[in-house]
Amino acid sequence: MGVTGGISEMPQVTEGPGAADSEALATLHRVFGYGAFRGEQQSIIEHVVAGGDALVLMPTGGGKSLCYQIPALVRPGTGVVISPLIALMQDQVDALRALGVRAGFINSTQDFDERRMVEAEFQAGELDLLYLAPERLRLDATLDLLSRGKISVFAIDEAHCVSQWGHDFRPDYLALSLLGERWPDVPRIALTATATRATHEEITQRLNLPTARHFVASFDRPNIQYRIVPKADPRKQLLSFLREEHTGDAGIVYCLSRNSVERTAEFLTANGIQAVPYHAGLDAGTRATHQSRFLREDGLVVVATIAFGMGIDKPDVRFVAHLDLPKSIEGYYQETGRAGRDGLPSTAWMTYGLNDVIQQRKLIQSGDGDEAFRRRAAAHLDSMLALCETAQCRRGQLLAYFGQDPDATGCGNCDTCLTPPETWDGTIAAQKVLSTVVRLQRERGQKFGALQIVDILLGKRTGKVIQFDHDQLSVFGIGQDLTEGEWRGVIRQLLAQGLLAVEGEYGTLALTGTSGSVLRREQEVPLRKEPKKPAASRSRSAGASGGAGKAKEAAAELPGELLPAFEALRAWRAEQAREQGVPAYVIFHDATLREIVARRPGSVRELGTVSGVGEKKLATYGEGVLQVLASLDGAAPDAADDVPDADWPEPADEPEPDDWI
């Protein structure tokens, strides 16, 4: 008891409440059990409650849902939420009902009777919120239904799906501009976590929201630690990362291909980590089961292609790992943003190597799409590569990409801030690579890939070197000062900087327009030093312990003596969730359980002041929680049940530096 200094008995009232926003604040306390609005939530809600249109750009986990849920509760009528995520509607509605909100959805997963019931509730004005998939709005029946009820607000979630250049384009979103024409008096709020200027403008235009007020939140996610490590043996590296830092945690692993999704999931399972695959090649039933297990079970890992994760609002995803390079920073930021919505320390971890660059460049060249499409794709990739190769703060680069001023001193919670990489003057090394490429082409009329170039530089008489007489070239063996791994690093960075190009289906290397200035020594080439071993994984609390980190919002790790109570509450929560068939976080979030064990409330009234405990939840679970706490008093605290398996195989060997790509 008494762990927190200022017990927030009375919610902090934010300044100058008018009638509408004091009602909004009262709803926040009563229904959601939260003490105060976050960031811009209050001004957004005020604006929409007053009838204004809004475009809300907020990172994943920023708290977008309340921005339309509270107006829907405060304004008369039903809030209609357009969301592309049919598979999640049931969970979203369950979560709202657990809060005492009258919510329903209409989509293709329902049978006729279920749908009729929701329609009747809507017409009778008995719904606070109605979720619809965008394709429903193409049906006259849906439009007729909507015109027979009273609508308080239209919320267009995942609004970036209207962007044809984006990675989540949904043609049905284009039809949403009709909402404003048909219901000119109903405010519309469009929300997204994708926020480049271009997407931003596209949303305003295509959704026909010319007078919408724009709310752009800070895109920083201080509780997420960003790390990018050199790729050696990605699966083994992943396994060590999970064992060292995320035992028993829920997380998502992204791979580029279905095949590698399958193999990675098998590999993790074989090594004692519960993992399931998720990709577009699996049948819908399997996908739904795996998604639902991820939401409902504690500590499951999903290995997925990018087809997984949009709209998943599981708050306790502790890590997002990328085994392959994402195609753009937008995609990367959305995917990593799925970690740590609850504000607790989380990790975004990626392996990246020479082959990623070659593969992605090849994909762009051989893919369909016109020249303009290719140029865009290449520009996206270049920004992503710049992030991977930077010697500066990763977070700073990400924020700058989204047009936000980064902290000049670095964030203190990314790998380059925690272990600043060394740089070296790579001009001569770059010249050696470029001259080898030039000589092959000029003297022999040949083009080769990175492997052969490295063998020539190292002076290796491999079969292929001998076959082509490459040991006769004057550049043969001029690169013995660096290791193979270092040469691969040089080539990777030259490709990333556009000083070298990849061509054709074999990924052969060629000069670019700027290579000449390096060869003539008109340009210096600073390079990042390849680390001798992969950046040692750090404790997951690095960002939150206050030491180097500035993870302002991240809660402190739980002190050991509170763990038994926390585990007991989690077990109780799992039981409740099973009985009701809902994900555990629908009962209470981890963050709420943490606050409960830290404060040890002795009465229902006191429990009601914990963040995340609203009126309905207090009535439903108050007694149950107090009983769990009471049963702990006196009982000798058991050690946590789930100690890691003793019979796991030995940890993987550290990869040899020379294997690095």
Q: Which is nearer to ligand ADP, 38 or 447 (CB)?
A: 38
Binding range to Zn ion, per CB under 5 A, among 35-43, 237-245, 392-400, 617-625: 392-400
Query: Token pair for residue 143?
Result: 């439009």
What is the DSSP secondary-structure string of 478-547? TTTTS-HHHHHHHHHHHHHTTSEEEETTTTEEEE-TTHHHHHTTSS--EEEPPPSS------GGGGTSSS
Distance in angstroms (rounded) separating the CA atoms of residues 600 and 577: 22
Contact between 158 and 192 (Cβ < 8 Å): yes
Classify the C-alpha dihedral 79-80-83-85 as positive or negative.
Answer: positive
Q: Which is nearer to ligand ADP, 433 or 613 (CB)?
A: 613
Task: Write out the binding residues for Zn ion, residues 415-434 only, by CB under 5 A.
Answer: 417
395 binds, among Zn ion, ligand ADP, none (CB under 5 to 8 A by kind): Zn ion
What is the nearest approach in angstroms of Zn ion to the Cβ of residue 392? 8
| Residue 551 engages Zn ion in binding (rule: CB under 5 A) | no
Beta bridge partners, 601, equal none
Alpha helices in 407-507 (DSSP H): 415-418, 427-444, 450-458, 463-467, 484-496
Q: Which of 62, 104, 187, 479 binds ligand ADP (CB under 6 A)?
A: 62
638 half-sphere exposure, CB direction, 13 A CA radius? 9
| Residue 279 engages ligand ADP in binding (rule: CB under 6 A) | no
Helix (H) or strand (E) segment spanning residue 290: helix 284-296
Q: Which of 21, 25, 31, 60 binds ligand ADP (CB under 6 A)?
A: 60
Q: Which is nearer to ligand ADP, 41 or 351 (CB)?
A: 41
448 binds, among ligand ADP, Zn ion, none (CB under 5 to 8 A by kind): none
What is the nearest approach in angstroms of ligand ADP to the Cβ of residue 636? 34
Contact between 118 and 93 (Cβ < 8 Å): no
| Residue 58 engages ligand ADP in binding (rule: CB under 6 A) | yes
| Residue 616 engages ligand ADP in binding (rule: CB under 6 A) | no
| Residue 595 engages ligand ADP in binding (rule: CB under 6 A) | no
Q: Which of 29, 47, 64, 380 binds ligand ADP (CB under 6 A)?
A: 64
What is the DSSP secondary-structure string of 63-104? --HHHHHHHHHHSSSEEEEE-S-HHHHHHHHHHHHHTT--EE
What is the nearest approach in angstroms of ligand ADP to the Cβ of residue 56? 9
Task: Write out the binding residues for ligand ADP, residues 298-327 only, by CB under 6 A.
Answer: 313, 315
Q: Which of 395, 492, 594, 599 binds Zn ion (CB under 5 A)?
A: 395
Of how many residues is the chain composed?
Answer: 661
**Residues in binding contact with Zn ion, number by CB under 5 A:** 6
x/- map, 545-584, ligand ADP, by CB under 6 A: ----------------------------------------
Alpha helices in 99-233 (DSSP H): 112-123, 140-148, 178-182, 197-206
Query: Token pair for residue 537?
Result: 């994984």
Query: Token pair for residue 521?
Result: 């020594």
**Residues in binding contact with ligand ADP, number by CB under 6 A:** 18
Q: Which is nearer to ligand ADP, 496 or 610 (CB)?
A: 610
64 binds, among ligand ADP, Zn ion, none (CB under 5 to 8 A by kind): ligand ADP
Query: Token pair for residue 65?
Result: 């849902």
Classify the C-alpha dihedral 566-569-570-571 as positive or negative.
Answer: positive
Q: Which of 8, 65, 274, 545 binds ligand ADP (CB under 6 A)?
A: 65
x/- map, 115-154, Zn ion, by CB under 5 A: ----------------------------------------
Unique residue bearing structure tokens 């394709």: 135
Distance in angstroms (rounded) separating the CA atoms of residues 265 and 286: 14
Q: Radius of gyration over alpha carbons of the chain, in Å?
A: 27
Q: Which is nearer to ligand ADP, 234 or 345 (CB)?
A: 345
Binding range to ligand ADP, per CB under 6 A, among 33-41, 436-444, 448-456, 474-482: 33-41
38 binds, among Zn ion, ligand ADP, none (CB under 5 to 8 A by kind): ligand ADP
Contact between 260 and 254 (Cβ < 8 Å): no
What is the nearest approach in angstroms of Zn ion to the Cβ of residue 541? 17
Q: Which of 107, 95, 84, 99 is nearest to 155 (CA)?
A: 84
Q: Which of 54, 63, 176, 596 binds ligand ADP (CB under 6 A)?
A: 63
Classify the C-alpha dihedral 643-646-647-651 as positive or negative.
Answer: positive
Distance in angstroms (rounded) separating the CA atoms of residues 341 and 93: 19
| Residue 492 engages ligand ADP in binding (rule: CB under 6 A) | no
Binding range to ligand ADP, per CB under 6 A, among 12-20, 53-61, 373-381, 395-403: 53-61
411 binds, among ligand ADP, Zn ion, none (CB under 5 to 8 A by kind): Zn ion
Q: Which is nearer to Zn ion, 235 or 395 (CB)?
A: 395
| Residue 414 engages Zn ion in binding (rule: CB under 5 A) | yes
Contact between 386 and 378 (Cβ < 8 Å): no
What is the nearest approach in angstroms of ligand ADP to the Cβ of residue 130? 18
Q: Which is nearer to ligand ADP, 33 or 543 (CB)?
A: 33
Contact residues for Zn ion, defined by CB under 5 A: 393, 395, 410-411, 414, 417
Contact residues for ligand ADP, defined by CB under 6 A: 34, 37-38, 41, 58, 60-66, 313, 315, 341-342, 589, 611
